[in-house]
Structure 1
Amino acid sequence: MAQPSPSFPGSTRSAKTPLEVRLEREGIPESRHRVHAVVCDQRGRVLMRAGDPQQLSFVRSALKPFQATIFVSSGAADRCGCGDRGLAIACASHAGTAAHAREAFKLLWGAELEVEQLQCPVPSGGRSPLEHNCSGKHAAFLASCRQMHWPLETYLQPNHPLQQEVLKRVAELLAVPAAELVVARDDCGAPTLQLQLAQMALLYAHLGAGALPDLERLSRAMLAHPELVAGEDRFDTELMRLGHGQVISKGGAEGIQCLSRVGEGLGMAIKVEDGSARAKHAVALHLLEQLDWLTPAGLEQLRHRFLEPAPHLRLSVLGELRFD
């Protein structure tokens, strides 16, 4: 557990104080990041926090498992015959490898759709939209539209029946009116939502609880095929591999990281104010240790990979979750 350092003033901390991640170069502090974190249960109660649980941010790619619920509930996933691998790629922010592109293609093939119908961009240096990290989500969107006889050409528009159904499902999980949710376009062209950090944690409490069949099926697929959710040596994949089926991990851009404690109805959400990916990974490992959600051996492996970017550099975290 990280301890307050005299190099960073203000050693007295409370639940209202954000966490602080520092990068040290040969033991000398060089950079730091402010980070908010919250743990909620399925009823939306804030159990523990560091910083502001009402911190607003776009949920970005951490929304993908909930966008994929339509793929399951509509029957499109079963029609495609995609199995758990297809469900995992629908939730993925993948590395764009041939294996990832192949799984996204299988979703399209099973739904009798064409690659050209994908509206996610071709990534820089790539040759096909299948290589885009969101191609699985977009393929699942299209398959859902085909199953429900919804228009294919406008599937990314916020007023499209698919996107309205996603909005409705998320609002139901959060127990808020759908009209209160703020929608904006993500970088892949799909809608994303601005949520409070506690609302993100509530979504992930539902994801890992096993109480809702569609979410339970998606969470099981993510745990069965973590290599498809992100990729080799990527944080979400490695954490789920070393978590022995106990933790679901899904990040989003601009410093968003969400986690579920499987079977316990607990969700955690993390937001780095400056959007740093290295800081969200450091905080996730720090809090997983505090909550005892991973084994010491698993944590040690992850720390070595993600907290030591070079032999002379190390990330450490100041502060901890406190009961609300």
Structure 2
Amino acid sequence: MTRGKRTQAAELEVRLLREGIIESKHQVQAVVCDDRGRVLSVAGNSETATFARSALKPFQALSVTATGTLDRYELSDRDLAIICSSHQGTIEQVRQVFNILWRSDIEASLLQCPIPEGKSSRLQYNCSGKHAGMLAVCQQRHWPLNTYLQHNHPVQQLIFGKVAELLRMPAAEFIHAHDDCGAPTYLLQLGQMASLYAQLASGQNLDMERIVRAMTHHPTMIAGEGEFDTELMRLTEGELVSKAGAEGVQCIGRTGEGMGIAIKVMDGAKRAKYAVAIHVLQQMGWIDPSVGEILTESFMTLGKFKRLEVIGELSIL
């Protein structure tokens, strides 16, 4: 990541108001970068590091687009979207995951993601699409299927290499750990995550362009009805690509313009990251006022007596 003149500014604060009285506060950092890694705007510190969690999924999906796996098994953009998803386990979404396995001639029992509490199948786990995509790549490349989550497995090394290449950093410098689903995730600076999403949305890479098209054309696959990523991409009609991660991570790219946003709520609160995303998108002029009003009503109005407000602005570098 290329550093700007400075990369630190005041954090944003999200307040939960109960009938106008402050009840809780969340501290949030946010960074805007271009596709060359330059920090354009910041609240907090662009070098704050956090695990990318599910915001990494579009880049894990590069293993599918870059290896010819999509064409080999005649997978569709809907399949590619579910590979990038953190889905709700609906019948439609589960069937899409199963379609990937069926076309790749892979048994569902080979999935190594957990079975969700109260459910009966690994297919219903929110990361099952990502796992199915990894298995499809392994099948296509004749790599071992039963060890695909190990960090030294060829499919994980392929993903690792793609991320390192995009960030123009030696792979040896990255720190990894296991996500809740068992797959490796990476400790990245917020500026690095924003730069990744700027590159994803830039339209300069055919594999990433196809991933963006799949996500924005099939937003219901990415999360589900009423979820932030789905509603934002649906309302902006392909202008923004959005992917949430656990523990207060949210990333957004503006398609065709090579700009990306990365957000981290320091206490991990989901409600705060959506409030900040709306606030930052409005400040950057990336959403129309009418879209902002709809999102505010859905994600910042928490009931009859509670609402969220964001204090502070991004500092323009």
TM normalised by structure 2 equals 0.97
User: What letter corresponds to residue 169 of structure 2 in structure 1?
Assistant: V
Partner of 1:254: 247
Which residue of structure 2 lines up, in the alignment, with residue 86 of structure 1?
A: 79
Q: Secondary structure at the match of 2:307?
A: strand
CA contact (8 A) 2:64 2:134 kept: yes
Contact 1:15 1:321 (C-alpha < 8 Å) held by counterparts: no
Aligned: 1:148 with 2:159: no
Residue identity (%): 55
Q: Pick from 98, 112, 116: which aligns with 1:123?
A: 116
Which of 224, 241, 244 is matched with 2:237 structurally?
244
Stretches of structure 1 that go unaligned for 5 or more consecutive residues are 1-13
Aligned residues of 2:8 and 2:46 also touching (Cα < 8 A): no
- Aligned equivalent of 2:104: 111
Q: 1:272 aligns with which of 258, 265, 268?
A: 265
Structure 1 length-normalised TM? 0.95
Tell me how far apart the structure 2 counterparts of residues 47 and 302 of structure 1 sit (CA, whole Å). 25
Query: What does residue range 46-85 of structure 1 map to in structure 2 within 5 Å?
Result: 46-85=39-78
Aligned-pair distance for 1:298?
Answer: 1.0
Alignment of 1:1-324 (within 5 A): 16-324=9-317
What is the alpha-carbon root mean square deviation over aligned residues? Answer: 0.9
Between the aligned partners of 1:92 and 1:78, the Cα distance in structure 2 is 20
Deviations 1:46-86 (A, max 9, x none): 00000010001000000000000011111111122221100
What's the CA shift string for 1:233-263, capped at 9, x where partnerless? 0010001001121111100000000000110
Count of aligned positions: 311
> Match of 1:8?
none
Report deviation, 1:309.
1.1
Amino acid at match of 2:13: E
- How far is 1:15 from its partner? 5.5
Q: Secondary structure of 1:257's partner?
A: strand
Distance in 2 separating the partners of 1:157 and 1:94: 23
Aligned partner of 2:247: which letter?
E
- The question of whether the paired residues in 1 share the 8 Å contact of 2:85 and 2:126 is answered with yes
In 2, Cα distance between equivalents of 1:290 and 1:47: 13
Residue of structure 1 equivalent to 2:3: none
SS in 1 for 2:225: coil
Describe the SS at the equivalent of 1:303: helix
- 1:6 corresponds to: none
